[in-house]
Amino acid sequence: MVKANIHKKLERIEEALRNLAEHEIECRLCPRECGINREKKEKGFCNTGSNASISHAILHFGEEPVLSGYYDCLKDKLKDSKHISGSGTIFFSGCNLKCSFCQNYQLSWLNQGKPASHEELALNMLHLQKKGALNINAVSPTHIILPLLKSLKIAYSNGLELPLVYNSNGYEKAEVIKNLEGIVDIYLPDFKYHSPELAEKLSGAADYFQHASLAIKEMFRQQTTLLLDDQEIAQKGLIVRHLILPCQITDSFAILEWIAQNLSKSVCLSLMSQYQPSFKAPPEIQRQISFEEYNQVKAKAEELGFETMFIQSESFAPHEHLTPDFNRKDPFLWE
């Protein structure tokens, strides 16, 4: 990133911090609108105070190839030099959505991780850059936007040059996302549910679609086009993920139809097949999705005319690289 862009980014961070400061003492950053004082260490639904807690900060090769690099091509090289690329992924503790089936439940529900000062979080970013990360990928950033912005300010002032990936569950407020214009380079929301009943049942958030649709519209306004560099690595843009759930393909169809009608068929989609029942998944979703379910959703996306899609069909078998255990040093066993 050129110096002028860093300067602009720092100005935008200052502005966002000013605009969002009220949430430190009465947090309404996300649709849960807890209204608690995080500076006084009160905790809301996300169970997070005024600092972020970090579980892991690692090079991750399991994201979309435009974010993680092309692992298969690099596999041999990685034996010699493990840190050629990968997404510089930071997993935070806590979550503002807490899906009952969350594969990251050790973080979202059990809050595993260590509180980090803003300086420590910035150092993690700089360390990932030094290891060759292609970007800084903040996983579940919604509830820690303020400490994230404060840390980015330190990191960008001290030489961070990587694009920022905002890797979210989609349960966001559009007016908060508006403040991230000029700061977030790549939005990576998982657009989970269309049906309020399903969202309530699995995530206790009947208003999920109402908020996520507006937030993703705002993300699309800011970063309409996926921009790749000459190595086919994303520098800017929006990738809308959708985790396909067992027995729920009509809901998947409704999500795809909404994107086609309200955003664009040029939106880059990532259709995820990796669902594994975890934690408190209710009985009706206690299995992986089938090939048929995945292929029906993929066919629907093709029929609707989506131009760019990431397909994950090879990962139907339980996939160690996509099913993390955050008790391990490397949760995805890449090392």
Should residue 302 be labelled a site residue for ligand SF4 when binding is judged by CB under 6 A? no
Pick between residue 30 and residue 148 the one whose CB is nearest to ligand SF4. 30
Pick between residue 50 and residue 85 the one whose CB is nearest to ligand SF4. 50
Taking contact as CB under 6 A, which single stretch among the options 21-29, 62-70, 195-203, 262-270 is the one that binds ligand SF4? 21-29
Q: Rounded distance, CA 55 to CA 115, Å?
A: 9
Pair 307, 260: CB distance under 8 Å: no
Should residue 82 be labelled a site residue for ligand SF4 when binding is judged by CB under 6 A? no
Candidates 90, 93, 100; CA nearest to 46 is: 93
Q: Rounded distance, CA 64 to CA 70, Å?
A: 9
Q: Rounded distance, CA 280 to CA 126, Å?
A: 36
Pair 121, 149: CB distance under 8 Å: no
Pick between residue 27 and residue 183 the one whose CB is nearest to ligand SF4. 27
Which of 46, 239, 259, 272 is close enough to bind ligand SF4 by CB under 6 A? Answer: 46
Q: Rounded distance, CA 290 to CA 78, Å?
A: 33
Should residue 103 be labelled a site residue for ligand SF4 when binding is judged by CB under 6 A? no
Should residue 167 be labelled a site residue for ligand SF4 when binding is judged by CB under 6 A? no
Taking contact as CB under 6 A, which single stretch among the options 1-9, 27-35, 219-227, 292-300 is the one that binds ligand SF4? 27-35
Q: Rounded distance, CA 40 to CA 222, Å?
A: 34
Q: Give residue number: closest CB to ligand SF4.
A: 44
Pick between residue 99 and residue 260 the one whose CB is nearest to ligand SF4. 99
Q: Output the CA–CA distances (angstroms, integers) from residue 202 to 137, 196, 283, in the order listed.
A: 25, 10, 11
Should residue 44 be labelled a site residue for ligand SF4 when binding is judged by CB under 6 A? yes
The residues that touch ligand SF4, with contacts defined as CB under 6 A, are: 27-30, 32-34, 36, 44-46, 96, 143
